[in-house]
Amino acid sequence: MPRSRDRARLGPVRARVVGMGEIVLIRHGETTWSASGQHTSVTDLDLTENGVSQAKALAPLLARWDFTEVWSSPRKRSLVTADLAGLEITAVVPDLAEWGYGDYEGRTSEEIREENPDWSLWTHGGKGPGGETPDEVAARLDRALAEAEALLDRGDVALVAHGHSTRVAAARWLGRPARDGREFTIDTASIAALGYEHGRHAIALWNLTPWAADPE
Protein backbone atom coordinates (compact mmCIF):
# COMPACT_ATOMS: atom_id res chain seq x y z
CA MET A 1 0.00 0.00 0.00
CA PRO A 2 1.30 3.51 -0.75
CA ARG A 3 0.89 4.66 2.83
CA SER A 4 3.72 2.27 3.88
CA ARG A 5 6.28 3.70 1.42
CA ASP A 6 9.26 5.73 2.52
CA ARG A 7 8.01 9.31 2.30
CA ALA A 8 11.46 10.70 3.19
CA ARG A 9 12.68 9.96 -0.33
CA LEU A 10 9.82 11.77 -2.04
CA GLY A 11 10.79 15.36 -1.37
CA PRO A 12 8.67 18.06 0.29
CA VAL A 13 4.94 17.50 0.51
CA ARG A 14 2.55 20.29 -0.45
CA ALA A 15 0.91 22.33 2.28
CA ARG A 16 -2.32 20.72 3.42
CA VAL A 17 -5.30 21.80 5.48
CA VAL A 18 -4.63 20.38 8.94
CA GLY A 19 -7.10 17.67 9.88
CA MET A 20 -8.70 17.49 6.44
CA GLY A 21 -7.88 15.08 3.66
CA GLU A 22 -8.08 15.49 -0.09
CA ILE A 23 -10.02 13.79 -2.86
CA VAL A 24 -7.36 12.52 -5.25
CA LEU A 25 -8.49 12.00 -8.85
CA ILE A 26 -6.48 9.45 -10.82
CA ARG A 27 -7.01 9.01 -14.54
CA HIS A 28 -6.29 5.51 -15.85
CA GLY A 29 -3.29 4.70 -18.03
CA GLU A 30 -3.23 4.76 -21.80
CA THR A 31 -5.43 2.51 -23.94
CA THR A 32 -5.42 2.20 -27.73
CA TRP A 33 -8.49 4.43 -27.93
CA SER A 34 -7.23 7.10 -25.54
CA ALA A 35 -4.10 7.26 -27.69
CA SER A 36 -6.13 7.63 -30.90
CA GLY A 37 -8.68 10.07 -29.45
CA GLN A 38 -11.64 7.69 -29.75
CA HIS A 39 -14.38 8.26 -27.17
CA THR A 40 -14.32 5.35 -24.73
CA SER A 41 -16.99 4.76 -22.12
CA VAL A 42 -18.51 1.27 -21.87
CA THR A 43 -15.95 -0.41 -24.14
CA ASP A 44 -13.73 -2.30 -21.70
CA LEU A 45 -10.24 -1.93 -23.14
CA ASP A 46 -6.95 -3.15 -21.72
CA LEU A 47 -4.08 -0.79 -21.04
CA THR A 48 -1.41 -0.59 -23.70
CA GLU A 49 2.16 -1.50 -22.84
CA ASN A 50 2.80 2.19 -22.35
CA GLY A 51 -0.32 2.44 -20.18
CA VAL A 52 0.98 -0.31 -17.92
CA SER A 53 4.27 1.54 -17.50
CA GLN A 54 2.40 4.77 -16.80
CA ALA A 55 0.27 3.16 -14.11
CA LYS A 56 3.25 1.60 -12.35
CA ALA A 57 5.04 4.94 -12.36
CA LEU A 58 2.18 6.52 -10.38
CA ALA A 59 2.99 4.53 -7.23
CA PRO A 60 5.73 6.76 -5.75
CA LEU A 61 3.68 9.90 -6.41
CA LEU A 62 0.61 8.46 -4.71
CA ALA A 63 2.70 7.61 -1.64
CA ARG A 64 2.36 11.26 -0.62
CA TRP A 65 -1.24 10.64 0.45
CA ASP A 66 -2.71 8.51 3.22
CA PHE A 67 -5.69 6.84 1.59
CA THR A 68 -8.45 5.56 3.83
CA GLU A 69 -10.63 4.73 0.81
CA VAL A 70 -9.83 3.90 -2.82
CA TRP A 71 -12.82 3.92 -5.17
CA SER A 72 -12.67 2.87 -8.78
CA SER A 73 -14.84 3.06 -11.86
CA PRO A 74 -16.09 -0.41 -12.87
CA ARG A 75 -14.05 -0.35 -16.08
CA LYS A 76 -11.04 -2.62 -16.37
CA ARG A 77 -8.69 0.19 -17.36
CA SER A 78 -9.35 1.92 -14.04
CA LEU A 79 -9.24 -1.23 -11.93
CA VAL A 80 -5.94 -2.34 -13.46
CA THR A 81 -4.42 1.14 -13.13
CA ALA A 82 -5.23 1.17 -9.41
CA ASP A 83 -3.66 -2.24 -8.92
CA LEU A 84 -0.50 -1.40 -10.87
CA ALA A 85 -0.16 1.87 -8.93
CA GLY A 86 -0.12 -0.07 -5.67
CA LEU A 87 -3.60 0.87 -4.48
CA GLU A 88 -5.99 -1.49 -2.77
CA ILE A 89 -9.51 -0.82 -4.05
CA THR A 90 -12.08 -0.58 -1.28
CA ALA A 91 -15.14 0.00 -3.49
CA VAL A 92 -16.18 -0.16 -7.14
CA VAL A 93 -18.41 2.87 -7.73
CA PRO A 94 -20.57 2.99 -10.90
CA ASP A 95 -20.95 6.78 -10.53
CA LEU A 96 -17.25 7.12 -11.45
CA ALA A 97 -17.72 5.55 -14.89
CA GLU A 98 -16.82 7.59 -17.95
CA TRP A 99 -19.35 9.88 -19.63
CA GLY A 100 -21.83 7.77 -21.60
CA TYR A 101 -21.26 8.60 -25.28
CA GLY A 102 -23.98 6.37 -26.71
CA ASP A 103 -23.78 6.31 -30.51
CA TYR A 104 -20.53 8.28 -30.35
CA GLU A 105 -18.68 5.45 -28.62
CA GLY A 106 -15.46 4.62 -30.43
CA ARG A 107 -15.55 7.74 -32.61
CA THR A 108 -13.22 10.73 -32.54
CA SER A 109 -14.43 14.31 -32.22
CA GLU A 110 -13.32 14.97 -35.79
CA GLU A 111 -15.46 12.09 -37.09
CA ILE A 112 -18.50 13.25 -35.12
CA ARG A 113 -18.18 16.80 -36.40
CA GLU A 114 -18.17 15.59 -39.98
CA GLU A 115 -21.89 14.89 -39.55
CA ASN A 116 -22.60 17.50 -36.87
CA PRO A 117 -20.19 20.45 -37.21
CA ASP A 118 -21.55 22.28 -34.16
CA TRP A 119 -21.30 19.30 -31.81
CA SER A 120 -19.51 19.61 -28.48
CA LEU A 121 -19.62 16.94 -25.81
CA TRP A 122 -19.67 19.68 -23.16
CA THR A 123 -22.80 21.25 -24.64
CA HIS A 124 -24.68 18.45 -26.38
CA GLY A 125 -23.47 15.32 -24.57
CA GLY A 126 -23.76 11.82 -25.99
CA LYS A 127 -26.26 10.61 -28.57
CA GLY A 128 -28.86 7.87 -28.64
CA PRO A 129 -29.16 4.95 -26.19
CA GLY A 130 -26.62 5.24 -23.39
CA GLY A 131 -25.73 8.81 -24.29
CA GLU A 132 -25.60 11.13 -21.27
CA THR A 133 -26.23 14.86 -21.03
CA PRO A 134 -23.82 17.10 -19.12
CA ASP A 135 -26.38 17.41 -16.30
CA GLU A 136 -26.71 13.63 -15.99
CA VAL A 137 -22.97 13.18 -15.68
CA ALA A 138 -22.80 16.02 -13.16
CA ALA A 139 -25.51 14.42 -11.00
CA ARG A 140 -23.63 11.18 -10.52
CA LEU A 141 -20.28 12.86 -9.97
CA ASP A 142 -21.96 15.08 -7.37
CA ARG A 143 -23.04 11.94 -5.51
CA ALA A 144 -19.54 10.47 -5.57
CA LEU A 145 -17.94 13.71 -4.42
CA ALA A 146 -20.42 14.20 -1.58
CA GLU A 147 -19.84 10.67 -0.32
CA ALA A 148 -16.06 11.06 -0.55
CA GLU A 149 -16.03 14.49 1.12
CA ALA A 150 -17.90 13.07 4.11
CA LEU A 151 -14.88 10.82 4.77
CA LEU A 152 -12.11 13.42 4.54
CA ASP A 153 -11.88 13.92 8.28
CA ARG A 154 -10.41 10.39 8.33
CA GLY A 155 -7.83 10.91 5.58
CA ASP A 156 -7.57 11.03 1.81
CA VAL A 157 -9.92 9.38 -0.68
CA ALA A 158 -8.73 8.22 -4.12
CA LEU A 159 -11.12 8.15 -7.09
CA VAL A 160 -9.71 6.18 -10.03
CA ALA A 161 -11.65 7.12 -13.12
CA HIS A 162 -11.52 8.61 -16.61
CA GLY A 163 -10.70 11.75 -18.56
CA HIS A 164 -14.09 13.36 -18.93
CA SER A 165 -15.49 12.15 -15.61
CA THR A 166 -12.53 13.58 -13.66
CA ARG A 167 -12.86 16.89 -15.49
CA VAL A 168 -16.55 17.08 -14.60
CA ALA A 169 -15.64 16.23 -10.99
CA ALA A 170 -13.23 19.17 -10.87
CA ALA A 171 -15.83 21.58 -12.23
CA ARG A 172 -18.50 20.37 -9.83
CA TRP A 173 -16.12 20.57 -6.83
CA LEU A 174 -15.79 24.27 -7.62
CA GLY A 175 -19.56 24.67 -7.92
CA ARG A 176 -19.39 25.18 -11.67
CA PRO A 177 -21.52 23.46 -14.33
CA ALA A 178 -20.32 20.26 -15.98
CA ARG A 179 -19.56 22.11 -19.21
CA ASP A 180 -16.76 23.99 -17.46
CA GLY A 181 -14.84 20.72 -17.31
CA ARG A 182 -13.68 21.59 -20.83
CA GLU A 183 -11.30 24.06 -19.17
CA PHE A 184 -9.42 21.28 -17.36
CA THR A 185 -7.27 19.15 -19.65
CA ILE A 186 -5.93 15.96 -18.11
CA ASP A 187 -3.47 13.35 -19.38
CA THR A 188 -3.62 9.59 -19.03
CA ALA A 189 -2.09 8.27 -15.80
CA SER A 190 -2.28 11.65 -14.10
CA ILE A 191 -3.16 12.84 -10.62
CA ALA A 192 -5.29 15.75 -9.41
CA ALA A 193 -6.25 16.72 -5.88
CA LEU A 194 -9.43 18.42 -4.74
CA GLY A 195 -8.96 20.21 -1.45
CA TYR A 196 -9.63 23.46 0.38
CA GLU A 197 -8.37 27.03 0.61
CA HIS A 198 -9.60 29.05 3.61
CA GLY A 199 -12.50 26.66 4.04
CA ARG A 200 -13.62 26.82 0.41
CA HIS A 201 -13.35 24.11 -2.22
CA ALA A 202 -10.21 24.50 -4.31
CA ILE A 203 -8.07 22.61 -6.81
CA ALA A 204 -4.96 21.71 -4.84
CA LEU A 205 -3.14 19.92 -7.67
CA TRP A 206 -3.86 19.26 -11.32
CA ASN A 207 -2.60 16.95 -14.08
CA LEU A 208 0.53 15.69 -12.34
CA THR A 209 2.14 12.86 -14.30
CA PRO A 210 5.24 10.86 -13.34
CA TRP A 211 7.09 12.52 -16.22
CA ALA A 212 6.15 16.01 -15.09
CA ALA A 213 7.27 15.17 -11.55
CA ASP A 214 10.57 13.65 -12.72
CA PRO A 215 11.47 14.71 -16.29
CA GLU A 216 14.67 12.67 -16.12
DSSP string for 120-169: -HHHH--BSTTB--HHHHHHHHHHHHHHHHTTTTSSEEEEEE-HHHHHHH
User: How confident is the model over 18-24, as a mean pLDDT?
Assistant: 83
If pLDDT is split at 50, 70 and 90, which confidence band does 214 have? confident
42: β partners: none
Strand order, beta sheet including 67-72: 91-92, 67-72, 156-161, 23-27, 191-197, 200-208
In terms of Cα–Cα distance, which of 75, 120, 98 is closest to 186? Answer: 98
Predicted local confidence at residue 175, as pLDDT: 98
Predicted local confidence at residue 15, as pLDDT: 45
User: How confident is the model over 44-63, as a mean pLDDT?
Assistant: 97
Predicted local confidence at residue 215, as pLDDT: 60
pLDDT above 70: residue 199 = yes
Active-site hit among 22, 28, 30, 39: 28
Predicted local confidence at residue 9, as pLDDT: 33
Active-site hit among 30, 69, 98, 105: 98
For the chain, percent of residues with pLDDT exceeding 90: 88
Q: Quick one: 115 exposed, middle or buried, by C-beta within 10 A (0-12, 13-18, 19+)?
A: exposed
Predicted local confidence at residue 216, as pLDDT: 59
Domains of the chain: 20-213 (3.40.50.1240)
Predicted local confidence at residue 20, as pLDDT: 84
**Is 98 marked active-site?**
yes
pLDDT above 60: residue 7 = no
pLDDT above 50: residue 4 = no
> Cβ atoms within 10 A of the Cβ of 117, count?
7
pLDDT above 60: residue 2 = no
Task: Read off the pLDDT of residues 107-158 as tens digits, 9 standing for 90 and up.
Answer: 999 999 999 999 999 999 999 999 999 999 999 999 999 999 999 999 999 9
Q: Quick one: 126 exposed, middle or buried, by C-beta within 10 A (0-12, 13-18, 19+)?
A: buried
Task: Read off the pLDDT of residues 63-119 as tens digits, 9 standing for 90 and up.
Answer: 999 999 999 999 999 999 999 999 999 999 999 999 999 999 999 999 999 999 999
Total-model pTM: 0.90
